[in-house]
């Protein structure tokens, strides 16, 4: 979501004849887009601000702005020695005025901001497209509803217009975005409805969506995925914990049994479904037996990949009031163990692809040679041989490097 927001900001600035430069040293103003979801993300952003102290001393006229959730959540950042202004997530339309006027302080936000009529210019064949902003769920650990506000769904015609504009500019892979994308609803159109409409744009070869909440997935979503060849058979479905006691304290609104049954139904309709998840370890009050339940579920469900985090307390959230926080040492030990378990599964799943032939869309150059490709179920494959970005090929997987499948082109599709 932040990458997409950065593209919105860039579009707003380029439209006003600002220019993009590649290093802070060349810039007249520097914008840092930030995330507050975990303490670690905030620490990294503060490290980045500290590293700009030398620049600000040498060139005091350089203007430095903090954008995004930290601008909303940490107003004291305005006192940081390099910071001139703070721009929270719904304030970006005011950014240009603010920079031109060289104003300091907190930029006011717009109510109901959806960044309508701003169409980002893609510089790749893959692009994000946000269809909702904010979230109405208050999972007890999560800062998002506070920093990004309540849920707003964009009108379908605007989403279609933006998708068509992306396609016109060469995009072939679109990832629809929402904090809880299944909560999308606009005048009778729900998430499966809008997914179907966007999938109808036939120039889109891969259509993905992030992030799904297990409480909100209707079974018709799997049917829409099955009916449309260009919708990737990929689902990111955060589990967070497999202990019902912890899930309840997290206010997630489902049990592990609900989650399992949803996954089983999804896998029945889409047998090649790639399934990834988020897991939050060390939530206040998590006991050894709760953690064991999570490990057992990870072994049973066999996610293709998990994004695993240790709990960090976030200001204003309900769980910040809980008084049974775990020691860092316990959280870190559990996290390390979980990562080991998942890594083994990820590796086994990657090796199972050896010898298989897959249809792959080439989306970019790979850093260490070859090209990056995406299979029809969202797997990332390194493609060797003469492959054109934007073309599809049948690729035979002949080796696995770590977890990354590497393949040779058999033929163009």
Shorter beta-carbon distance to ligand 5AD: residue 63 or 217: 217
Give the residue, chosen from 141, 186, 222, 393, that forms a contact with ligand 5AD under the rule CB under 6 A.
141
CB of 399 to ligand 5AD, least distance (A): 32
**8 A C-beta contact, residue 179 and residue 148:** yes
What is the contact mask toward ligand 5AD in residues 379 to 398, using x (rule: CB under 6 A)?
A: --------------------
Question: CA 276, CA 236: separation in Å to the nearest integer?
Answer: 5
What is the contact surface with ligand SF4 in residues (CB under 6 A)?
135, 137-139, 142, 144-145, 179-180, 213
Closest CA to 351 of 379, 329, 376: 379
- Is 37 a residue that touches ligand 5AD (CB under 6 A)? yes
Which option in ligand 5AD, ligand SF4, none does residue 215 bind, with CB closer than 5 to 8 A by kind? none
Cβ-based burial of 181 (10 A; exposed 0-12, middle 13-18, buried ≥19): buried
Nearest position to ligand 5AD, beta carbon: 278
Stretch that binds ligand 5AD, among 28-36, 83-91, 148-156, 310-318 (CB under 6 A): 310-318
Partner in contact with 186, chosen from ligand SF4, ligand 5AD, none, beta carbon below 5 to 8 Å by kind: none
Choosing from 146, 234, 309, 393, the residue that interacts with ligand 5AD (CB under 6 A) is 309
Partner touching 37 among ligand 5AD, ligand SF4, none, CB below 5 to 8 Å by kind: ligand 5AD
Residue 328 makes CB contacts below 8 A (sequence gap 6+) with 310
Give me the least distance between CB of 239 and ligand 5AD, in Å please.
Answer: 9
Whether the Cβ atoms of residue 59 and residue 93 lie closer than 8 Å to each other: no
Q: Which residues ranging from 156 to 215 are in contact with ligand 5AD (CB under 6 A)?
A: none
Out of ligand SF4, ligand 5AD, none, which partner does residue 174 contact, by CB within 5 to 8 A per kind? none
What is the distance between the alpha carbons of residues 144 and 202, in angstroms, rounded to a whole number? 34
DSSP structure class, residue 338: H
Task: Using CB under 6 A, pick the residue from 45, 142, 163, 360 that binds ligand 5AD.
Answer: 142
Nearest-10 crossing angle of helices 256-269, 288-301: 10
Output the smallest distance, CB 334 to ligand 5AD, in A.
13
Nearest Cα residue to 335 out of 295, 300, 377, 388: 295
The DSSP H or E segment spanning 64 is strand 63-68
Query: Which segments within 178-246 are labelled E, that is strand?
Result: 185-186, 189-190, 206-210, 234-236
Q: Which does 277 bind (CB under 5 to 8 A by kind): ligand 5AD, ligand SF4, none?
A: none
Contact 397, 349 (CB under 8 A): no
Q: Which residue carries 């018709």 as its tokens?
A: 220
Between 113 and 278, whose beta carbon lies closer to ligand 5AD?
278
Q: Which helix (H) or strand (E) holds 358?
A: strand 357-365
Smallest gap from residue 151 Cβ to ligand SF4 (A): 9
Whole-number Cα distances in Å, 124 to 138, 172, 248? 35, 9, 42
Could you say which DSSP state residue 286 is in? -
* Closest CB 305 distance from ligand 5AD, rounded Å: 13
278 binds, among ligand SF4, ligand 5AD, none (CB under 5 to 8 A by kind): ligand 5AD
Minimum distance between the CB of residue 60 and ligand SF4, rounded to whole angstroms? Answer: 39
CA-to-CA distance for 381 and 366, rounded, in angstroms?
10
Q: Shortest distance, CB of residue 257 to ligand 5AD, whole angstroms?
A: 20
**Distance from C-alpha of 261 to C-alpha of 272, rounded to nearest angstrom:** 17
Residue 147 touches ligand 5AD, criterion: CB under 6 A: no
Q: Binders of ligand 5AD among 220-249, rule CB under 6 A? A: 238, 240
By CB under 6 A, the residues from 260 to 279 that bind ligand 5AD are 278
Contacts with ligand 5AD, residue ranges (CB under 6 A): 37-38, 141-142, 238, 240, 278, 280, 309, 311-312, 314
């Amino acid at each position: 979501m932040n990458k997409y927001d950065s593209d919105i900001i860039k579009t707003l600035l380029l439209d006003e004849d600002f220019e993009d430069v590649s290093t802070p040293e060349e810039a007249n103003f520097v914008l840092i887009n930030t995330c507050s979801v975990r303490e670690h993300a905030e620490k990294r952003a503060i490290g980045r601000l500290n590293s700009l102290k030398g620049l600000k001393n040498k060139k005091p006229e350089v203007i430095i702005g903090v954008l995004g959730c930290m601008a909303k959540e940490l107003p004291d950042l305005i006192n940081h020695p390099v910071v001139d202004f703070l721009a929270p997530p719904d304030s970006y339309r005011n950014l240009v005025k603010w920079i031109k006027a060289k104003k300091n302080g907190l930029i006011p936000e717009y109510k109901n901001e959806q960044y309508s009529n701003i169409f980002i210019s893609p510089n790749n064949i893959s692009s994000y497209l946000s269809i909702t902003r904010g979230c109405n769920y208050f999972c007890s650990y999560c800062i998002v509803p506070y920093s990004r506000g309540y849920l707003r769904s964009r009108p379908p015609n605007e989403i279609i217009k933006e998708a068509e504009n992306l396609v016109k500019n060469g995009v072939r892979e679109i990832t629809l975005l929402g904090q809880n994308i299944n909560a999308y609803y606009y005048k009778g159109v729900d998430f499966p409805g809008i997914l179907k409409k966007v999938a109808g744009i036939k120039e889109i070869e891969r259509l993905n969506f992030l992030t799904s909440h297990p409480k909100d997935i209707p079974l018709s979503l799997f049917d829409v995925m099955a009916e449309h060849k260009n919708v990737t058979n990929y689902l990111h479905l955060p589990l967070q914990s497999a202990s019902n006691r912890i899930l309840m304290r997290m206010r997630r609104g489902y049990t592990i049994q609900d989650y399992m049954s949803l996954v089983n139904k999804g896998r029945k309709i889409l047998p090649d479904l790639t399934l990834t998840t988020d897991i939050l370890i060390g939530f206040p009050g998590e006991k050894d037996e709760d953690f064991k339940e999570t490990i057992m579920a990870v072994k049973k469900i066999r996610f293709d990949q998990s994004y695993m985090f240790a709990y960090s307390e976030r200001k204003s959230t309900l769980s910040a009031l809980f008084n049974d926080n775990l020691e860092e040492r316990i959280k870190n030990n559990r996290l390390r163990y979980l990562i080991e378990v998942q890594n083994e599964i990820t590796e086994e799943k990657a090796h199972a692809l050896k010898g298989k032939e897959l249809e792959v869309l080439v989306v970019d150059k790979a850093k260490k040679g070859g090209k990056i490709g995406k299979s029809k179920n969202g797997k990332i494959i390194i493609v060797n041989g003469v492959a054109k970005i934007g073309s599809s090929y049948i690729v035979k997987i002949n080796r696995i490097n770590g977890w990354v499948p590497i393949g040779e082109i058999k033929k163009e599709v």
